[in-house]
Amino acid sequence: MRNPFLNFYRVLDAQELLDIAFRRAMKSSASVSSNAPIIIKAKKKESKRIKVAIEELIDRILKIIKMVPIIEDLPEFYRELASLIIDTDKLRLTLGKLNGILPVLSKLERDYIGRLRRIEEPKEGDRLRREVFGRVSSIIRKQSENLEYLNSIRGRLRGIPSIDYSKPCVVCAGAPNVGKSSIVKQISTKKNIEVQEYPFTTKKLILGHINIKRRFDTIQIQIMDSPGILDRPISDRNNIEKQAILALRLISDLIIFVFDPTPACGYNLDSQINLFNEVQEKFIQRENIDIIIVFNKKDLASESEISHLQERLGIGSDNYILTNALNGDNLDEIYAQLKKQFAEDYKEL
């Protein structure tokens, strides 16, 4: 599904909205006979200006409101992910405040056009138009903070990946700094992933694709780079970690769990194994999701460190893939496993 927030474009600030509305209003012209009395011309001209300005503002504010999808109507993945990225209650409140000024603007338009019909001097029309423009300006400027807030969150929401529910999705998970991003970068189409030597470089879900060749065609699967997860209770995990949990829970068809057997990542084996056991219990066993176990950083890991991790997990040498994600060593084995997993029975919906 296409990211529902992709149409959430830049929001004009209060002054920009007013400038556009008033400029168009002053350029507008009313249809009136050249032989009509001056007072009639004044009424028509100023009524037209008021109508154009207010209706331009109403139209643009409505477009702003409609750019943002209704959170409650979104699929579960997008709904929950949005709530982790931003304060969705504040978003609803902000849109509600913008929506609340629309009837106020409409009432101003009706009131002042009614007053214009009763003027007896042409200069009264100019005065009333200036008066209503002043009141409209005050109303719009009071929304400055709300307009700025929408602009401050739009980039984060537009950055949510577009998930194709008809294609399998592989989620790469593990503790911070174990090499998840390097693996996804190496084996997928997503080459602009930032890779650093310090933890928590990945702060959001990043989606790439892998093209798997079959005998007569090529299929595509999705692969998700997820933020690192710490070994701690869910109540203590921050919203960045919860994005990874969300991906595991809602969109994973297979999990690549990455270990670092060395002390290089900054997280000891106990914490990594505890995290693995949690993932195994909650997703692999309970949700029946398949897994590929990867021991990364083979260039740094000693034989004893690799053997120790293998013994702690109680698995044989055929149950994991030993890789060096930075230079791509043995990543073809991950590709082969994915091909075996998805190429045989995969049918695109």
Q: Where are the domains of the chain?
A: 14-158, 169-342
- Whether residue 40 is predicted with pLDDT greater than 70 in this model: the reply is yes
Fold classification of 14-158 is Four Helix Bundle (Hemerythrin (Met), subunit A) (1.20.120)
pLDDT at 178: 94
Task: Return mean pLDDT, the chain.
Answer: 92
> What's the whole-model pTM score?
0.87
How many angstroms separate the CA atoms of 173 and 259, rounded? 9
Residue 301 backbone zone (phi > 0: left; psi -120 to 50: alpha; other: beta): beta
Q: What pLDDT, on the 0 to 100 scale, is given for residue 348?
A: 45
Of the pLDDT bands very low, low, confident and very high (cuts 50, 70, 90), residue 199 is low
Q: 14-158 with 169-342: one CATH topology?
A: no
Give me the mean pLDDT over the 142-157 stretch.
97
Quick one: average pLDDT of 261-274?
Answer: 92
Tell me if 293 sits within 8 A of 301, measured CB to CB: no
What pLDDT score does 33 carry?
A: 62
SS3 13: coil
Position 343 scores a pLDDT of: 80
Which is it for strands 218-225 and 206-213: parallel, antiparallel or unpaired? antiparallel
Q: At a CB cut-off of 8 Å and minimum separation 6, what does 70 contact?
A: none
The CATH superfamily holding the domain 169-342 is P-loop containing nucleotide triphosphate hydrolases (3.40.50.300)
Q: Which of 37-46, 70-79, 166-175, 176-185 has the lowest mean pLDDT?
A: 37-46
